Structure 1
């Protein structure tokens, strides 16, 4: 996300573009172009272009512009001006805005160019950048902690700025400005660690302990931190290139060490760091050769870190230790970590746990999956519907391969009622267990008219007798309400009942019931009117 954005404002390329814009355009043209830009009149053919831009700009009519970023004076527009015009300026600003550059600076390029520049501050900054560039020549051989130290030094020129999205773009621009070409795996590791470092840096410097919490972030900082988190998760979602790079394994372990420390430390990014930690193990580390040894090593590191952990970190520790034991096929030890308050705090990992179990389904470890699903039933109580649906979906997969496990599925879903009610009911219908479905409707006081006729059609076709008590009970309830609307609802159901009795070839029973029904309610004139309208009397 961020690594594809433009470098910061002090990037020499941006400074050079401002200078050339001041030379090619007069101030009035830039201001008019800025108005066109704000009105959204410029549409770039390819906003990712880096040399020549082609755009359509809506003016008096639609004009086509071609802008040479290396020679603005040599650019062209189909408008009658015949020189750098407001349409070109608008297209140039559209490109700058797309890449994250400050467009107002471009609109004021001629004014900025006429101001004297303080040489001393700029000179010091450039000297610092040059020193960083010399040190950065060692980036291909550096460890991850050395990268983090370099990132910290890179931020000195912008340390005074508010930690918002623009700051993040500038910071990443500084990181990438000094980065030499790297091997594919190192490139990905550099990207991930740059995003993680900057996320923690932005959050730590903007948290507000004065509010009695170390997790408060300002609104714009929160947006920047969230964007960095999403970018890091996107980075981890892509396969890690591996072409036999000698430092890749050590950098992976160093990254895991850093994430372990971060997710066990209470702070504004702790939850994000836990997600990154889990994603690192689930995607990159689990796929490494000898992953079992990696799991065992990480479990030892977690156990060494456990003594003295603050209460806020117990859930994260449980989640991490469970993952390691799961990777080692130590299911008994993993399940033990789900008990107690720590396990409940790790319930944010309920979705993650379903993903782990999904791996068992993908690798067709059906017996192991079945043991997990059976053991998890009490732990799933009170979970959100989305998590219960994932759990039930895994049961479906297991039962499809192990039909003898079906009674266990019904028992597990029943134990989770009423939270699992919609899931349980759907499976009852799919399995043709219509009488049990009706029992649930009756026990929960459901109304037949809550369902569309098409939803009840399978029952009318395959188990019409099961619907009789459902309809009869609802009819009496509607009549007891004693209002015109409820009488109309009763008549609708009576007409359905008539069809059901006919389908069951029990017309005499229907006639007997209806005559008695009409007699019992003969004094309810409004009901009698509705019965006549429904042609039931």
Structure 2
């Protein structure tokens, strides 16, 4: 074959992209597949290449000959007659052969290996540069400005010293950068936590700036280095909690006061990962920046800005809450759209922690009123389920302590269908069986869905609710029209008879059975099972 027909060029590119994404150069197994496939291709082991309707068929002469079919439109459907799974060396060899008709295989392999080479080069470069600071470990005197300048300069040097880094290189560079910070930590233990707290906050903000400057979208960040933000947040949470419960040296005050000014960068509207940024801001002003005058000054600064972003609005509400200005906080909350809803979690958890139930009541009530509209915006089922679990976890302590079960039930109702299981359990434990059955009807309950324990409780306390379920189950088994299901229908009929007798409605049972026998008179096998089960006379 001298070349690829024009109609196959785009599918070939699609297949090429698929191979590049599925085979990772830093995974030894994938690297072996590419190396062996390349060897087979270069040996000329791939022959009889044919193209037909989006498929490329080829023979590959290995230790044993195999046949390969590449599906250029649906790459995962590609097949090889060898016993291997997924992308094997034969599929890879056939791909290289097909690719060679249009472009250089060597260039494809080099481009595929490039990310690994870049990561290794960046890591080794960063490690070499980091050695310079190891000599000064512990010699930096506690000085806030000097610390921050060192962090920022080190970040720029390591992360951007060789130009704008590719997304996949950022984790390795950041690891080197952070190792460098550790080398410069103070020797005195009491200063180490504060040093690392300042380092983590500055690093978090610098990473935000980097992703913004490089134009990385949310998908790129999530895929390549979102865990760096999460790691920094975890460190900041632990360090701020640790520092906040200690008796701090007087010298710390100036450091913490200067550190609070850094937090405004977390509210910048240009940055992504909005929820994490706002959460971090709220956490710091709750745990670390506790002085009333600091919070009042910060609130005044934010209130000066009339054209506020969501982040700034949440910050104002949070500061109002910390200052116990609940009326002002609620007024602002009520003026906000549905996108304010997820931030209630932090406020409710904070009030729960302090057991401030009276203050929490209006926040939770407003939150519950917003749930359904927010879930309609979210859309994704799994995200909605996660949200549901978080709501119940936040609301339960308050509702249990204040006995506001009606508010808890309203939350469960507003979150349907995502709260179905929890709402079902709530109603059953409450013994509100009528409403429980309405809920079951909503999702199309079948007899088989009930546990033995539920059936027993209903038999004792609300047998009338089981009647329609047993009737439905009997009819479904009869409709299958085989001996096994007829036998199951008879078993269900016996239980139905027991229920009617318990409810002293024997005449209704007899009328139903007589009508059932008339409707099924052509089903001889079913009648035989009814006789065997002594439902009717032999």
Q: TM-score range by the shorter chain?
A: 0.5 to 0.7
Q: Relative to structure 1, is the Cα distance of residues 220 and 183 closer, same or farther in structure 2, using a 3 angstrom cutoff?
A: same
Equivalent position of 2:360 in the other structure: 369
Equivalent position of 1:83 in the other structure: none
Q: Relative to structure 1, is the Cα distance of residues 191 and 336 closer, same or farther in structure 2, using a 3 angstrom cutoff?
A: same
1:277 to partner: Cα distance: 1.4
1:147 to partner: Cα distance: 1.9
> 2:155–2:206: 8 Å Cα contact kept in structure 1?
no
Specify which of 276, 288, 291 is matched with residue 284 of structure 1.
288
1:523 partner SS: coil
Does 2:178 correspond to 1:177?
no
Aligned length: 397
Tell me, in whole angstroms, the C-alpha distance in 2 between the residues paired with 1:214 and 1:393: 28
Equivalent position of 1:266 in the other structure: 270
Equivalent position of 2:252 in the other structure: 248
Q: Relative to structure 1, is the Cα distance of residues 169 and 373 closer, same or farther in structure 2, using a 3 angstrom cutoff?
A: closer
Tell me, in whole angstroms, the C-alpha distance in 2 between the residues paired with 1:386 and 1:223: 19
> 2:483–2:525: 8 Å Cα contact kept in structure 1?
yes
Equivalent position of 1:168 in the other structure: 174
1:379 to partner: Cα distance: 0.8
Specify which of 191, 200, 204 is matched with residue 195 of structure 1.
200
Equivalent position of 2:312 in the other structure: 317
1:234 to partner: Cα distance: 3.9
Tell me, in whole angstroms, the C-alpha distance in 2 between the residues paired with 1:160 and 1:277: 30
Q: CA RMSD in A?
A: 3.9
Tell me, in whole angstroms, the C-alpha distance in 2 between the residues paired with 1:233 and 1:257: 18
Equivalent position of 2:426 in the other structure: 427
Q: Any idea what the Cα deviations from partners look like across 1:125-159, whole Å, max 9, x if unmatched?
A: 98x759x959x85641x23x442212123356645
1:437 to partner: Cα distance: 0.8
> 1:459–1:467: 8 Å Cα contact kept in structure 2?
yes
Q: Any idea what the Cα deviations from partners look like across 1:469-488, whole Å, max 9, x if unmatched?
A: 33334444555676778756
Q: Relative to structure 1, is the Cα distance of residues 474 and 271 closer, same or farther in structure 2, using a 3 angstrom cutoff?
A: same
1:319 partner SS: helix
Q: Any idea what the Cα deviations from partners look like across 1:182-229, whole Å, max 9, x if unmatched?
A: 462x42221122123334434544557567x58844955445444334
> 1:165–1:221: 8 Å Cα contact kept in structure 2?
yes
1:411 to partner: Cα distance: 4.4
1:502 to partner: Cα distance: 3.9
Tell me, in whole angstroms, the C-alpha distance in 1 between the residues paired with 2:300 and 2:506: 75
5 Å matches for 1:44-443? 129=133, 133=136, 139-140=141-142, 142-143=143-144, 145-155=145-155, 158=158, 159-160=160-161, 163-182=169-188, 184=190, 186-202=191-207, 204-205=209-210, 209=214, 213=217, 216-217=220-221, 220-238=224-242, 240=244, 242-268=246-272, 270-285=274-289, 288=290, 290=291, 292-304=292-304, 306-309=305-308, 314-339=309-334, 343-349=337-343, 353-381=344-372, 382-383=374-375, 384-393=384-393, 395-403=395-403, 405-443=404-442
Q: Any idea what the Cα deviations from partners look like across 1:475-526, whole Å, max 9, x if unmatched?
A: 4455567677875664453233233234435445433432332222222345
Tell me, in whole angstroms, the C-alpha distance in 1 between the residues paired with 2:150 and 2:296: 31
Tell me, in whole angstroms, the C-alpha distance in 2 between the residues paired with 1:396 and 1:125: 50
2:150 partner SS: helix
Q: Relative to structure 1, is the Cα distance of residues 479 and 233 closer, same or farther in structure 2, using a 3 angstrom cutoff?
A: farther
Tell me, in whole angstroms, the C-alpha distance in 2 between the residues paired with 1:271 and 1:430: 36
> 1:438–1:466: 8 Å Cα contact kept in structure 2?
yes
Answer 1 or 2: higher relative contact order, Cα 8 Å, separation at least 6.
1
Q: Relative to structure 1, is the Cα distance of residues 153 and 294 closer, same or farther in structure 2, using a 3 angstrom cutoff?
A: closer
> What TM-score do you get using the length of structure 1 for normalisation?
0.62
Tell me, in whole angstroms, the C-alpha distance in 1 between the residues paired with 2:313 and 2:239: 25
When structure 1 is superposed on structure 2, of 525-534 and 496-505 the one drifting more is 525-534
Tell me, in whole angstroms, the C-alpha distance in 2 between the residues paired with 1:125 and 1:398: 51
1:453 to partner: Cα distance: 2.0
The answer for unaligned runs of 5 or more in structure 2 is 1-119, 122-127, 376-383
Equivalent position of 1:464 in the other structure: 463
Equivalent position of 2:35 in the other structure: none
Q: Any idea what the Cα deviations from partners look like across 1:404-448, whole Å, max 9, x if unmatched?
A: x44444445434444433332211111111122112223442112
> What TM-score do you get using the length of structure 2 for normalisation?
0.62
Q: Any idea what the Cα deviations from partners look like across 1:269-322, whole Å, max 9, x if unmatched?
A: 54433232122233334xx4x4x4443333223223x3445xxxx332233222
Tell me, in whole angstroms, the C-alpha distance in 1 between the residues paired with 2:448 and 2:442: 16
Tell me, in whole angstroms, the C-alpha distance in 2 between the residues paired with 1:530 and 1:326: 70
Tell me, in whole angstroms, the C-alpha distance in 2 between the residues paired with 1:155 and 1:355: 31
Tell me, in whole angstroms, the C-alpha distance in 1 between the residues paired with 2:408 and 2:214: 48
Q: Relative to structure 1, is the Cα distance of residues 329 and 225 closer, same or farther in structure 2, using a 3 angstrom cutoff?
A: closer
> 2:341–2:371: 8 Å Cα contact kept in structure 1?
no
Tell me, in whole angstroms, the C-alpha distance in 1 between the residues paired with 2:258 and 2:407: 43
Tell me, in whole angstroms, the C-alpha distance in 2 between the residues paired with 1:316 and 1:205: 20
Q: Relative to structure 1, is the Cα distance of residues 470 and 269 closer, same or farther in structure 2, using a 3 angstrom cutoff?
A: closer
Q: Relative to structure 1, is the Cα distance of residues 129 and 301 closer, same or farther in structure 2, using a 3 angstrom cutoff?
A: same
Q: Relative to structure 1, is the Cα distance of residues 520 and 236 closer, same or farther in structure 2, using a 3 angstrom cutoff?
A: farther
2:317 partner SS: helix
